[in-house]
Amino acid sequence: MKKLLFIVSLVITVALISCGAPVGESSSGGELTGISAVAWDEPAPYGMVLIKRGSVKVGPSETDSLWGKSVPSKDISVDAFWMDETEVSNSKYKQFVFWVRDSIIRERLADPAYGGNEVYKITEDRYGDPVKPHLNWAKPIPWRRASEEEQAAINSVYKTHPIDGTRMLDADQMNYYYEDFDYTQAALRKNRLNPAQRNKNTDVPVNYDEVVMISKDTAYIDDEGRIVNRTITRRLSSLYDFQNSYIVNVYPDTTCWVNDFRNSYNEPYMKLYFSHPSYNDYPVVGVSWEQANAFCAWRTNYLLAGLRGAARYLQRYRLPTEVEWEFAARGKEDNAYPWKGKDTKSDEGCYYANYKPGRGNYTKDGNLISTKVGSYSPNSNGLYDMAGNVSEWTSTVYTEAGVLSMNDMNPELKYNAAKEDPYVMKKKTVRGGSWKDVAAYVRSDARSYEYQNESRSYIGFRCVRTQVGYNKKGR
């Protein structure tokens, strides 16, 4: 026992010595030496690769051969970031959907209408003090041997098809609520809570009665059970005015297979592409820009919950900016395609990507629609399917001006369109081309767009996360 106590004492002593003297006490003979910092080396997130900081000439590398137009390009620099090595698959997106399903079930298991088992919801800490009510994920759902009331709670998220009798998840209930604090808007000088900090020009008197109006996104479910996301304008009064809230139905629009291709027999894809295990490793499609952002928010919260608050410096998951996407796609060789050269297949006749090689001949490359993520060789950054398979959402607003309207350092054109805004303002940039596109549209410099609330059978996404700090891996 004495030996154990000695070891513990030694560890504590070493820890205290390594921390140094308290701030304000001299430990360096009165010289300015700075405060020692703990070494930080961010571990690689699961399934992601590091894209090291660098610069890229964004925009077409060649003049338009059809119209002869000279499309502007621009040298732009970006910081290091982590990026999913593949597009988000059906399997990974299902984890999101099932988490939403399970959260609804747990909420109802704690509801008196379904038995009111309080163990599924935590309302106080271990000392008996009240805390913000939250679900208890440590308590498993009784999928087997459930009581009558528990089974009713489980069954409540499913429905039966009125015609063929198929039991299925009730997609209309799969709604995810999340909040997002807008650090950028809160940091703007014009939005400072203290009027004296809004203008540094000392010739201008401070107007302490100045009213600052801000826009804030809010969400709720109305009495009819409908999701209402709206943007309100209100007087700035606190930092909570920059806290936006959203409710998004996260279930993919499986009908996109029929709506995107009229007069085509795509009913099997509509019924099976997202639900059948054979498609688990295929990229998720039928997901709007809004749903992709909800996934990023959930993925961030899911990670932080797993780390239990131990990762205060980790950045959130998000969609890549348009420039980040192109920089990552071009690879170390900075090519027009994610691979070397201008050919789309090797000398042996093997295609480098899943796209539409000929007029009406989708299967020439071995696929009819999308294929399993990672089926083709990665680019020099270690990223798969940056050309073809499915197009990918970016966070960037689509404008015809393109790079001319962007900053040359970490550029991002962001606009959270309100429901009342003209539809044209809801265009978001899409990159990479897809299984239905010809070779010209799967180039790394090819730009396209889609409206943020649209879901397509040929658009998916992947996430990025800004790397923290500057270390050997980020150089």
Rounded Cα distance, 302 and 79, in Å: 25
pLDDT band at 17 (very low <50, low <70, confident <90, very high): very low
Written as six digits, the tokens of 103 are 């959260």
Asked whether residue 98 carries a pLDDT value surpassing 90, the answer given is: yes
Give whichever of 57-71, 177-191, 398-412 has the largest mean pLDDT. 177-191
Q: What is the pLDDT of residue 360?
A: 75
Residue 149 burial class via C-beta count within 10 angstroms: exposed 0-12, middle 13-18, buried 19 and up? middle
Q: Which of 122-131, 260-269, 296-305, 376-385 has the least mean pLDDT?
A: 122-131
**218 & 74 share domain:** no
Asked whether 327 and 78 are in contact (CB, 8 A), the reply is yes
**239 & 312 share domain:** no
pLDDT band at 310 (very low <50, low <70, confident <90, very high): low
Element (H, E) at 221: strand 213-221
Q: What is the pLDDT of residue 100?
A: 98
Asked whether residue 112 carries a pLDDT value surpassing 80, the answer given is: yes
The pLDDT tens digits of the residues spanning 229-285 come to 999 999 999 999 999 999 999 999 999 999 999 999 999 999 999 999 999 999 999
Q: What is the pLDDT of residue 22?
A: 54
Rounded Cα distance, 202 and 460, in Å: 51
- How many CA atoms lie less than 13 Å away from 465 in the CB half-sphere? 23
- What CATH code is carried by the domain that includes residue 461? 3.90.1580.10
Rounded Cα distance, 401 and 71, in Å: 9
**354 & 451 share domain:** yes
Phi and psi dihedrals of 378, rounded to 5?
A: -75, 165
Asked whether residue 180 carries a pLDDT value surpassing 60, the answer given is: yes
Query: What is the number of domains present in the chain?
Result: 2
DSSP output for 100-159: HHHHHHHHHHTSGGGT--GGGEEEE-TTS-EEEEEE-TTS----SS--HHHHHHHHTTEE
**Is residue 441 one of the residues assigned to a domain?**
yes
Rounded Cα distance, 446 and 386, in Å: 12
pLDDT band at 182 (very low <50, low <70, confident <90, very high): very high
**Is residue 216 one of the residues assigned to a domain?**
yes
Edge-first strand order for the sheet with 464-466 is: 48-51, 81-84, 464-466
Q: What is the pLDDT of residue 341?
A: 85
The pLDDT tens digits of the residues spanning 424-435 come to 999 999 999 999
Residue 111 burial class via C-beta count within 10 angstroms: exposed 0-12, middle 13-18, buried 19 and up? middle
**Is residue 262 one of the residues assigned to a domain?**
no
Asked whether 252 and 93 are in contact (CB, 8 A), the reply is yes
**445 & 332 share domain:** yes
**Is residue 408 one of the residues assigned to a domain?**
yes
Cα 451 to Cα 168, 170, 172, 256, 307, distances in angstroms: 29, 26, 21, 14, 35
Percent of the chain with pLDDT strictly greater than 90: 67
Asked whether 435 and 388 are in contact (CB, 8 A), the reply is yes
**Is residue 459 one of the residues assigned to a domain?**
yes
Return the closest-CA partner of residue 374 out of 354, 394, 396: 354
Average pLDDT (348-359) is 90
Mean pLDDT of the residues in the chain: 88
Average pLDDT (177-201) is 94
Q: What is the pLDDT of residue 117?
A: 92
The pLDDT tens digits of the residues spanning 37-77 come to 666 677 889 999 999 999 888 876 555 544 455 566 788 89
**Is residue 127 one of the residues assigned to a domain?**
no
Average pLDDT (403-427) is 86
In the listed set 201, 219, 248, which residue is the last one of a domain according to the structure? 248
Asked whether residue 328 carries a pLDDT value surpassing 70, the answer given is: yes
Asked whether 318 and 463 are in contact (CB, 8 A), the reply is yes
Residue 464 β-bridge partners:
83, 318
**203 & 55 share domain:** no
In the listed set 200, 231, 248, which residue is the last one of a domain according to the structure? 248
Q: Which of 89-103, 129-143, 302-316, 377-391 has the least mean pLDDT?
A: 302-316
Q: Which structural domain range is residue 207 located in?
A: 175-248
Residue 248 burial class via C-beta count within 10 angstroms: exposed 0-12, middle 13-18, buried 19 and up? buried
**336 & 410 share domain:** yes
**Is residue 445 one of the residues assigned to a domain?**
yes
**336 & 456 share domain:** yes
337: CB partners within 8 A, 6+ apart:
344, 352, 353, 387, 442, 443, 444
Cα 346 to Cα 352, 353, 390, distances in angstroms: 7, 11, 21
Rounded Cα distance, 369 and 269, in Å: 10
Strand locations in 48-117 (E): 48-51, 54-58, 74-78, 81-84
**Is residue 4 one of the residues assigned to a domain?**
no
**372 & 442 share domain:** yes
pLDDT band at 164 (very low <50, low <70, confident <90, very high): confident
**241 & 325 share domain:** no
Q: What is the pLDDT of residue 247?
A: 96
**241 & 339 share domain:** no
Q: What is the pLDDT of residue 81?
A: 96
Percent of the chain with pLDDT strictly greater than 70: 88
Phi-psi region of 143 (alpha: psi -120 to 50; beta: other; left: phi over 0): alpha
Q: Interhelix angle for 90-109 vs 289-307, to 10°?
A: 70
- How many CA atoms lie less than 13 Å away from 147 in the CB half-sphere? 7
**401 & 324 share domain:** yes
Strand locations in 421-460 (E): 427-431, 447-451, 459-460
**437 & 331 share domain:** yes
